[in-house]
Structure 1
Amino acid sequence: MTTQPPSRTVKLLLLTYIFLLTGCSKNLDIAPAAEKIANQPPVTSNAAATSNYYNELIAGTTPKIADLTLFTNMLPKGGDLHHHYSGAIYAETYLDWLDKTQSCICSGNECKSKTDPEPIPKFGIVKNPPSGTCISAQELRTNKKYTAFYRDLLKRWSDKDFGNHVHEQNAPDQQFFDTFAFFGPVSDYSYREGLQSLKERAVAENVLYLETMLKSAPTLENPDLAKKLNALNANSADRQVEEALSLYFDFMAASADAKAAIDKYVGAHQEAVAGIDGAGFKLRFQAYVSRNSSPAKVFSGLYSSFSAAKQNSLIVGVNMVGPENGYVAMRDYSLHMKMLRFLRQRFPEVKLALHAGELVLGMVPPEGLKHHINEAVQVAGADRIGHGVDITHESNAYELLTAMKQRNAAVEINLSSNAFILGVKDEVHPLQLYRQYAVPFVIATDDAGVSRNNLSHEYLLFASRYKPSYGELKTVVYNSIHHSFLNEDQKREEFRELDRRFAAFEEKISTMARSRKTYTAVAGPGI
């Protein structure tokens, strides 16, 4: 009997299947046909055995959460690209720093500081306190009479226990953003120590790379120019905007004070990260500004951010932070996007990640949901979008999804913070839309210290809620390097490390899966 050679279609399907299983180092669109094949791997390789085992964990209406937790804890995670330094540090670490800074916790309705005229609220940090007005961290932890106060402090400095019992509470978004004011006074105690702790936690959960936001960029005021810039609004003509921005740009570019402030800012990042990079781990920064300041201050900070990123390769991108539903943020959003367009034309090599669409219906009027992602992509030219939750309400949403795919603009998906701040999770979350329209995305933490989670948990939520194939799960991990702001040589290095780690991971899972089946066969059911 004569055997016919396989058809071209069969060959293509086999190649697609092999590529999905063997540690792809590029961003892929997971087509339905390829995904179907990835769900039916042979049992002749570690990758295939891992895929089979993973499929068992997510099968049925209720995934095997305990087993899946172990799986995602061990999973190589690539990078965490949406990461705020101060929000990533756990409250317990900040308490460790209190005694080192001779600070304490206000235990009454309000406290006074020798150096700060403003009253400090209960649970706030008091620096240079008068005697007898607050509790030291050591006393807080060791004196049993403060046990309840300590628990309450953790609930104010993070989202701990917010949703698991009935209690008097603020709105979730207020609870989340208020935490930064509590631990803020001590968050800059030691950037090096803080980054080292974040590195240790990342390495422990198999994360190769962090791209974090450390501190806001410096600003410089020119009252006369600021008056003209601050008179602009979202409806100002492009000519007016261009003129006002050009004048302030020229002022910043010529200012020795601005240069000195930017040099100091860059130096602080260099000092903070010294000694952090090592075998199997890298850390880089995004410069950022608050979107809830005056237009002149925002633009000044953005100029400093772009300049710092151009000046030093440790600062790999620019961002804007702060509640997107704030009055100023909403009022000036379109103006901010024009600022970014202006600066990107002058700093074309600088990468841009933007918080955009971290909004839901009811948080702002409906018209406020129509344009934020659109303008971040189409006007500012963002390379990545943070959150992207309001995509279903954006004008021309289908066209926008297509544009994001074509521009390769990845979405940073933050499942825990989206669920807490916005109440968006499960099938309400637009992640399914991004998957359906092949818009690239990455899984990230946002503020792991405030949310009291880690990147492994975010992957657990992704796997258990949306049940991606093992091939897609792997692709999302590789996306976190592909869409990072590392240079191409560094990306290739990280891809090689990911390939190595996935090979080791799949070998371990394959062995574990075989051992489990052997034990079941020997012990028998019900033992």
Structure 2
Amino acid sequence: MIKRWIRGGLALLAGFQVSGAALAAEPRLDRMTGGELAAFTRALPKGGELHNHISGAVFGEALLAWAAEDGLCVDVARLALAPACQPGGDLKPASTALRDEDLRSALLDSFSVRHPDFRDRSGHDQFFGVFSRIGAVSETRGGDALAFVLDSLGRQNTFYLEAMITPQGAAAAAKGAIAGWKGGDLAAQAAATRAQGLDALVPLVSAQTDALEARARTVMRCGQPDASPGCQVTVRYLYQTIRVLPPEQTFAQIQLGVAMVAADKRWVGIQMVAPEDHPNAVANYSLHMRMVDYLTDHGRKAPAALHAGELTLKVAPPSALRSHIAEAIRVAGARRIGHGVDFPHEDGAEALAAEAAAKGVMVEVNLSSNDAILEVRGQAHPVAWLRARGVPTSLSTDDAGLLRIDLSREYARAAEEGAAYADLKRSARNAIAFSFLAGEGLWSDPGTYARPARACAGQLGAETPKPGPCAALVAASDKAREQWRHERLLTEFEAGR
């Protein structure tokens, strides 16, 4: 079937490259039926996912099942999970919802954006409100949630993940609160937070990471004959910090995230999350960028991937759309931008795009999320504008469970909205090349992929590298190893094996 997609009804594309070897033509995605496109994008090796909030990645059916197993309850009025059933409240055991189809359906609506205007909420408010309604189970089932995500990616022929989580986030914020705000003296702020024992949280985060991964491996039966495909997915972590907290608390979380990158190789960068249009986020945005710049030493101590430009005039005033992405890149030193929807609306947008392209700052594109939250879709989305200006992009899900999508669906949606096969292939490669994995990559020109690294020229797509410089590179570099695996899978996919 894949051979038919690639060879039958194709448009010739001179110079198209597959791992260094010429291919006569590329698949015409615009000629595929919906079913063909769905199957094609599911089988396509998608490299990895760089924008994934684990707390929002699990579908409501799994959340309800876990809540029932854990003896949790449902607040029927709020359509939310509750940790315990209190006498006299409007609460029912979560197990009841598994037998009451009307209640179950209403809860699935409450835990997602599958029905627009649910309870007369905007997509924006419904999306961001979900987290408080599922927190009772998502906070205790982190390992199960990680297994859910890894299994899903593995079954979609995708084998790298950067997961956003915040272990010990409340403890870090509490230490920041005790330290108090030092009036913008960031050196004094760092010293005060450290004096409250912030560094003691580092081994606790590592221990939580150990437990998270151990539980995920158990759930996926890793090492057993019936192991989940998720066992083959490489996972790294971004420490997500909360931008709507008081400044001293956000600062402490960023400080802990940077410390984790230094202490534990599984932690590879930091993020900032929560609604960018929230009054606290808007008021403190420039301060937050200075915090990231100071604590990461402009990215030299820890790389940053920052949510920026997740805005439209529907949710924020014009002033908020003028410079958030610019500040993330120029002040904070962000190496990736999450969402970037308002990019063309920023002051000096063309110059900013040229700068992002020159610096290799990638935009994480979340099509379904941007549609649900911001009502930006189709030709209104800036992804084609970014690609045309050489800004690297890669598709991701954001919160797959809330949106009821998977990564393959985002690739199919991109094709439906005008992306060619070459765009999807580049997105997949970008997901590894612009990851925060350690080590040198296999490409001399990440983003364009015309020149493999000299050590591995002519070898990409093979089962294993030849003994010598290429084998040494792959052995020494986490990034090169993931790229080698992806190029082999891509070659097999394009050959129709």
Structure 2 length as normaliser, TM-score?
0.82
How far apart, CA to CA, are the structure 1 residues paired with 2:299 and 2:345? 32
Give the C-alpha shift of residue 292 in structure 1: 0.3
Instruction: Name the count of aligned residue pairs.
Output: 433
Give the C-alpha shift of residue 263 in structure 1: 2.0
Give the C-alpha shift of residue 487 in structure 1: 1.0
Opposite residue 30 of structure 2, the aligned amino acid is: I
- 1:157 maps to 2:111: yes
Pairs within 5 Å for 1:50-449: 51=26, 54-55=27-28, 57-59=29-31, 64-107=33-76, 109=77, 122-130=78-86, 133=89, 134-142=91-99, 146-162=100-116, 168-215=119-166, 217=169, 218-221=172-175, 226-229=180-183, 241=184, 244-255=185-196, 257-274=197-214, 276=217, 280-345=232-297, 348-449=300-401
Pairs within 5 Å for 1:499-514: 499-508=487-496
Opposite residue 423 of structure 2, the aligned amino acid is: E
CA deviation vs aligned residue, 1:389-418 (integer Å, no higher than 9, x gap): 001210111110011011100000000000
Unaligned 5+ segments in structure 2 are 1-11, 223-229, 440-476
SS at match of 2:120: coil
Residue pair 2:268, 2:303 contacting (<8 A) in 1 also: yes
Residue pair 1:386, 1:412 contacting (<8 A) in 2 also: yes
CA deviation vs aligned residue, 1:468-491 (integer Å, no higher than 9, x gap): 2x3332122111000111112111
Alignment match of 1:17 (pick from 15, 18, 28): 15
Choose between structure 1 and 2 for higher RCO, CA contacts under 8 A separated by at least 6 residues: 1
SS at match of 1:317: strand
CA deviation vs aligned residue, 1:12-38 (integer Å, no higher than 9, x gap): xx99925x22379xxxxxxxxxxxxx9
How far apart, CA to CA, are the structure 2 residues paired with 1:70 and 1:304? 42
Percentage of identical aligned residues: 31
Give the C-alpha shift of residue 130 in structure 1: 2.9
CA deviation vs aligned residue, 1:160-205 (integer Å, no higher than 9, x gap): 2327xxx642011001001111101110223222211221111111
Unaligned 5+ segments in structure 1 are 1-13, 25-37, 43-47, 110-121, 230-240, 510-527
Give the C-alpha shift of residue 227 in structure 1: 3.9
User: Cα 1:225–1:102, aligned 2, differ >3 Å: closer, same or farther?
Assistant: closer
How far apart, CA to CA, are the structure 2 residues paired with 1:246 and 1:415? 39
Opposite residue 321 of structure 2, the aligned amino acid is: L
How far apart, CA to CA, are the structure 1 residues paired with 2:383 and 2:20? 23
Give the C-alpha shift of residue 102 in structure 1: 1.9
* Map of 2:466 onto structure 1: none
* Map of 1:494 onto structure 2: 482
SS at match of 2:275: coil
User: Cα 1:197–1:254, aligned 2, differ >3 Å: closer, same or farther?
Assistant: same
Residue pair 1:369, 1:390 contacting (<8 A) in 2 also: yes
CA deviation vs aligned residue, 1:325-369 (integer Å, no higher than 9, x gap): 000000000010011111122872311000000001232111110
Alignment match of 1:485 (pick from 433, 436, 442): 436
Give the C-alpha shift of residue 297 in structure 1: 0.8
- 1:453 maps to 2:405: yes
Give the C-alpha shift of residue 254 in structure 1: 4.2
Give the C-alpha shift of residue 508 in structure 1: 2.5
How far apart, CA to CA, are the structure 1 residues paired with 2:298 and 2:352? 26
Give the C-alpha shift of residue 248 in structure 1: 1.4
Residue pair 2:353, 2:391 contacting (<8 A) in 1 also: yes
Give RMSD over aligned pairs: 2.3
Residue pair 1:23, 1:499 contacting (<8 A) in 2 also: no
